[in-house]
C-alpha cells in the first residue's frame, strides 16, 4: 500500500520506542507494534499490520537472542523443544487469524494486550534452578505448553514472551533470567512463522517493516543508559509501562467495536 513519506518516519520512531521498551523491560513491548501501525502509521488492514509487526518482532528478537547466546544464558535444549512444538501451533494460529474479520481480530488483540499488561504487574520470581537439564519428563511438559503458546502467538501476531517465560519456568523450574533469554528462541520462531504465513498471502508491508527494524536497532542501542538510569526504579517503571499497554488495549478494543 502507498503511504506518505512521513508514515515511514513515524514507523521508525515507533520502532525505536518499542526496541527501547523491550530492551529495558523485557517481554510485552512488541504488542505495541500493531496499534502503532494502524493508528499512527496509517495501515488500514489489521491483517497487514499484524503480519508486518510479527516480521519486525522476529528480527528484533533475533538480535536479542544473539546477545543472550554470547552471554551463555540460553538453555538451548529446553528452548528448542518449546519453540519447535510452538512453531506448528503458530502456523495454525496464523492461518485461523487470516480467516477472522479484521475488526473482530483487532478486538481480540486488545484482549491479548490487556493480558500482557496484567502479566507485567504480577510479582516475578527470580529463583529457580540455574542448572536445568532437558529430560524425557521435561520434554513431555514443554511440548504441549509450547504448542498452546505458539497457537496464541500465531493467532494474535505477537511475540508471546509474556506467555513463554512463565511457561518455561513452570515446566522446567529454570530461573527467570534463563527463561527470559531462552524465550527469545520461541519469539524468533513464532514471529518468523507468523509473518511467513501472512507474507504468503501478501499481508506484509515490507517498507514499513524495514523502518520498524531500523528504528528498533536504534532503540536497543539507547536502552543501556536508560536501563542504568531506571535501575533503582525498575518496579515503578514496569508499572507505568504496563499501565500504558493497558490503556492502549482499552483504546484498541473501543475502536474495534465502535
Q: What confidence tens digit (pLDDT) does each residue in 104-119 have? A: 998 988 888 888 778 7
pLDDT at 11 over 90: yes
Predicted local confidence at residue 124, as pLDDT: 62
Task: Report yes or no on 59 lying in a domain.
Answer: yes
Residue 227, domain member (yes or no): yes
Q: Is residue 1 part of a domain?
A: no
Of the chain, the percentage scoring pLDDT greater than 90 comes to: 38
Closest CA to 52 of 187, 201, 161, 212: 212
| 172 part of a folded domain | yes
How high does pLDDT run on average in the chain? 85
Determine the Cα–Cα distance for residues 183 and 176; give it in Å rounded to an integer. Answer: 10
pLDDT digits 0-9 by tens, 63-102: 878 888 888 989 999 999 999 999 999 999 999 999 999 8
End-to-end alpha carbon distance in the chain: 25
2: in domain: no
Place of cell 527501547: 20
Domain count for the chain: 1
Residue 130 has what DSSP assignment?
T
Q: Provide the domain limits for residue 176.
A: 8-257
Rounded CA separation 150/147 (Å):
5
pLDDT tens, position by position, 120-132: 777 765 567 788 8
Please tell me the predicted confidence (pLDDT) of residue 245.
82
Amino acid at each position: 500500500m502507498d503511504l506518505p513519506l512521513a508514515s515511514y518516519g513515524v514507523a521508525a520512531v515507533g520502532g525505536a520506542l518499542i526496541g527501547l521498551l523491550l530492551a529495558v523491560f523485557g517481554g510485552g513491548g512488541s504488542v505495541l507494534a500493531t496499534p502503532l501501525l494502524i493508528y499512527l502509521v496509517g495501515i488500514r488492514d489489521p491483517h497487514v499490520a499484524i503480519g508486518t509487526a510479527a516480521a519486525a518482532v522476529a528480527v528484533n528478537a533475533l538480535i536479542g537472542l544473539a546477545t543472550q547466546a554470547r552471554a551463555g544464558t540460553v538453555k538451548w535444549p529446553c528452548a528448542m523443544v518449546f519453540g519447535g512444538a510452538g512453531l506448528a501451533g503458530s502456523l495454525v494460529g496464523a492461518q485461523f487469524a487470516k480467516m477472522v474479520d479484521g475488526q473482530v481480530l483487532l478486538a481480540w488483540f486488545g484482549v491479548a494486550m490487556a493480558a500482557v499488561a496484567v502479566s507485567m504487574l504480577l510479582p516475578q520470581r527470580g529463583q529457580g534452578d540455574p542448572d536445568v537439564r532437558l529430560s524425557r519428563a521435561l520434554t513431555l511438559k514443554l511440548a504441549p505448553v509450547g504448542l498452546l503458546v505458539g497457537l496464541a502467538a500465531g493467532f494474535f501476531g505477537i511475540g508471546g514472551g509474556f506467555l513463554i517465560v512463565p511457561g518455561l519456568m513452570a515446566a522446567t523450574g529454570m530461573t527467570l533470567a534463563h527463561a527470559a533469554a531462552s524465550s527469545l528462541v520461541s519469539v524468533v520462531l513464532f514471529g518468523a512463522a507468523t509473518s511467513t504465513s501472512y507474507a504468503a498471502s501478501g499481508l506484509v508491508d515490507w517498507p514499513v517493516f524495514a523502518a520498524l527494524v531500523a528504528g528498533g536497532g536504534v532503540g536497543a542501542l539507547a536502552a543501556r543508559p536508560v536501563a542504568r538510569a531506571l535501575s533503582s526504579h525498575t518496579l515503578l517503571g514496569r508499572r507505568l509501562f504496563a499501565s500504558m499497554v493497558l490503556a492502549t488495549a482499552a483504546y484498541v478494543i473501543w475502536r474495534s467495536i465502535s
